[in-house]
Structures are given as C-alpha cells and as structure tokens.
Amino acid sequence: MELILLHAPPPVVPAIIVAAMAMGTALGFYIARLAIDARPTRTALGDDRDSRTGSAVVAIGAIAALSPADDPLVNYRAISRILRAYLDERFSIDTRLMLGADIERAIASAGYPRATGRLTAHLLERCARAQSAATPVESARMADDLRVAREVIALTSSGR
C-alpha cells in the first residue's frame, strides 16, 4: 500500500485567499454605503420640507382666513378639518379614526415634545366640544383658538 503524500500549497496561496476575502469585504461595505447614500432621506415625520412650504403654508393660510367674528360653529368645524388634514399629510396618519390621545402619541412618537401633541389633541377636543355645545363661544376664546391652531402648525411643521 502506497501512501499518497499531500503537499502543502506554497505560502503565497493562503495570503492570496485572505487578501481576496478582505477585498470582497471592503467591496461589500462600499456597495452598502452607496446604497445607503442613494436612498431618499425621510424622517420619522414623513418629509424633510422647509417649515414654510407645502401643507404648512396651506394650513396656516386657511386658518388665517378665518375670523373670530364669524360663526363659531363654522370656525370650529373649519379648524378641526384644516388641522386634521394637515396632520394627515404631515405625519402620514389617518386622524379621522383617532382620539386626542392617539394623535398626541403619534406626534410624540414622531420626535416632537409631548406638550406639542397634548396641545394639538386638546385643541381638536375643544373643537369637537364647541361643535356639539349649545352655548355660544366668545370671540376672545375663538381668537385664542385660532392662534393656538397656527402655533400647532408652526410647531409641527419643522423637521426633526
């Protein structure tokens, strides 16, 4: 019985294999970096637009068109509609099916302070109460709520 002697490869072969694996790893990291750089930038908030463009400008303009002297029922319905449409577009949520606490959580989870979400939810709840109440709303209260609606839009329109 004859033994077959196996010969070890020359010392340069393992070095070539290790170098090829290192180059493959480096190429993989480079391709991954290119893929990360090529994807569009999006935040948790949905977009990176400037705070004075797009839906924020439309919403602030619509709120500014309302007057405290107008019918409170119409104003509160408009504030609710405008603010919900803005929040739907800004945060990619469906506020028609959300309660105030749900909206507060959605805004807070998007990286905004909890107080901003609380202010938004409180204003929407106040709009709902004013629409269902039989008591008249003072014009000073209406002016304050219009100011709060503009503040909510301004606070949530900047990218985080």
27-74 pLDDT per residue, tens: 999 998 888 877 655 444 444 444 445 888 888 888 888 888 888 888
| Sign of the four-CA dihedral 129, 118, 155, 53 | negative
Tally of helices (H runs) and strands (E runs) in the chain: 6, 0
The tens digit of pLDDT for each residue in 95-144 reads 888 888 888 888 888 888 888 889 999 999 888 888 887 666 777 888 88
CA–CA separation, 160 and 149 (whole Å)? 20
Nearest to 80 by CA among 112, 49, 103: 103
Quick one: which H or E segment has residue 131? helix 114-132
Instruction: Give the pTM.
Output: 0.62
Please check the confidence at residue 155 and state whether its pLDDT lies above 70: yes
pLDDT for residue 82: 93
41 token code pair: 């930038």
